[in-house]
Amino acid sequence: MGLLLILVVSVATFFYQFNNLPSLIPYQAYFKGSIKPASYSISKKAGPQNLIATYMGTSTILISDGQTAIMSDGFFTRPSFWDLLWGEISPNKALIKEALLQMNVNNLAAVIPVHSHHDHAMDAPEVALQTGAMLVGSESSANIGRGWGLAEKQIKVVTSQQPLQFGQFKVRLITSEHAVAPEFIEKLTGAGQTLNQPMTFPAQLSDFKEGGSYSVFLEHPLGNVLIHGSAGFKKLALEGVRADVVFLGIAGLGIKTASYQQEYFNEVVSRVGATRVVPVHWDDFTHSFHEPLQPMSKAVDDFEGAMNFIIEKTQNDKALSLHMMGKLDTLQLYGG
């Protein structure tokens, strides 16, 4: 009877926390601008002297200079929690088309998954098919593309630090580490594993292997940008990299120790000399594309803990500013 009571209480607590969603209200000021006077402005116009970013949730970021556009991840389908646990998942072609129209993406030079979990790489091949983009990433991401029917000529498997040129963008993927998760989550999502053959669709969550994690470094004559989609890091991996703007993955960061948070920030933000940090991968990727972005449930993450840490770091550093982005928000990075 005692064990049954413990089980009932544990299940009830989980579902209470699962439905206990953090509020964005305390952070509204950061969506409107920096916590200190900002040296940049909001704009929807890319051009020869402007570099802008558009955000769509998780680690999906469109970077454009008006001539060339590059997208990280390109994830829009957002299968539900229950589909991830017990169903099969595939890219939603109509939804991806709708998302690309909303982002004004007519053509795309490259779509780059930061690793090969479903919430980063699943939709990338369909994004490539609809835009003509090159799918750039690991062998695992390539095998997701091959399984979806993407031609080999649209797939580019890269090694760490290998430079690629797209218009005025020089792009390098730099080997990193995925944030460590509970053991059963790591087994379910293939942490440290590689997808060695073309994906079969529809697929299960466990079919998507991590395939190696990367920081995406974009160099441009107007300025440099670092997209770091997972709250893991590899010591000294970013040595010598310089980027004013860092899109910083914070999923899982709030439940890490204070020493881990500090080291993560030092390695990914401070080491590259960033002056602006934009948190990403903070939203619940099981919420529908048509809903506003919502922080992850308290049952699986501590959004407030991560934000409190980032806010404290930016408040204590006069050279660093913080900006939050919602779905379809655009941020002028350089120029203007």
In the DSSP assignment, the letter for residue 118 is H
Note whether residue 163 is domain-resident: yes
Q: What's the rounded mean pLDDT across residues 265-285?
A: 98
Q: What is the DSSP letter of 206?
A: G
- Could you tell me the sign of the dihedral formed by the alpha carbons of 60, 316, 29, 69, in that order? negative
Confidence grade of residue 17 (pLDDT, cut at 50, 70, 90)? very low
| Strand-pair category, 276-280 with 321-322 | parallel
Cα distance from N-terminal residue to C-terminal residue, the chain: 68
Closest CA to 326 of 300, 298, 287: 287
Return the bridge partners of 50, or none: 47, 335
The predicted pLDDT at position 293 comes to: 96
The HSE-up count of residue 265 (CA atoms within 13 Å, CB side) is 24
Check whether 34 has a pLDDT greater than 60: no
d(CA 213, CA 114): 6
Higher pLDDT, 110 or 49: 110
* Residue 192 falls inside a structural domain: yes
Report CA-CA distances (Å) from 292 to 56, 92, 284, 304, 326: 10, 19, 10, 18, 8
The verdict on residue 14 lying in a domain is: no
pLDDT at 46: 63
pLDDT > 50? residue 307: yes
3-state secondary structure of 243: coil
Closest among 196, 184, 270, 190 to 233, alpha carbons compared: 270
Q: Which residue has the higher pLDDT, 205 or 48?
A: 205
Q: Indicate if the pLDDT at residue 223 is higher than 60.
A: yes
The pLDDT assigned to 107 comes to: 85
Over 59-105, what HEC string results? CCEEEECCCCEEEECCCCCCCCHHHHHHCCECCCHHHHHHHHHHCCC
pLDDT of 232 above 90: yes
Q: Does residue 19 register a pLDDT over 80?
A: no
Give the model's pLDDT for residue 41: 38
pLDDT reported for residue 45: 62
How distant, in Å, are the alpha carbons of 116, 156, 192, 267 from that of 232? 15, 24, 13, 10
Structural domain boundaries, residue 99:
24-335
Residue pointed to by tokens 């630090």: 161
Question: Quick check: helix, strand or coil at residue 279?
Answer: strand
Which tens digit of pLDDT belongs to each residue from 96-108? 999 999 999 988 9
Half-sphere exposure of 229 (CA within 13 A, CB side): 30
Q: In this structure, how many other beta carbons lie within 10 angstroms of the beta carbon of residue 249? A: 29
Number of structural domains the chain divides into: 1
Residue 300 has pLDDT above 80, yes or no: yes
Q: Residue 8 domain-assigned?
A: no
Mean predicted confidence (pLDDT) in 115-122? 98
* CA–CA distance, 323 with 32 (Å, rounded to integer): 8
Taking 80 as the threshold, does the pLDDT of residue 236 lie above it? yes
With cut-offs at 50, 70 and 90, classify the pLDDT of residue 335: confident
Structure tokens at 96: 């991806």
Q: What pLDDT does 103 receive? A: 95
**Type of residue at 67:** Q
SS3 content of the chain, % helix, strand, coil (to 5): 30, 20, 50
pLDDT band at 4 (very low <50, low <70, confident <90, very high): very low
Q: Which of 214, 226, 202 is nearest to 122 (CA)?
A: 202
pLDDT of residue 238: 98
d(CA 225, CA 221): 11
What local confidence, expressed as pLDDT, does residue 185 receive? 87
Average pLDDT, integer, range 297-301: 93
Q: Round to whole Å and give the CA distance between 1 and 16.
A: 22
Q: What is the pLDDT of residue 96?
A: 98
Say if 63 falls within a structural domain: yes
Q: Identify the band that residue 35 occupies on the pLDDT scale cut at 50, 70 and 90.
A: very low
- Residue 18 in any domain: the answer is no
Banded model confidence at residue 48, pLDDT cuts 50, 70, 90: low
Say which CATH number the domain at 112 has: 3.60.15.10
Confidence class for position 68, pLDDT limits 50, 70, 90: very high
Average pLDDT over residues 216-242: 97
pLDDT of residue 20: 78
Radius of gyration from C-alpha coordinates of the chain = 19
3-class secondary-structure state, position 227? strand
Q: Is residue 53 part of a domain?
A: yes
Mean pLDDT of the chain: 91
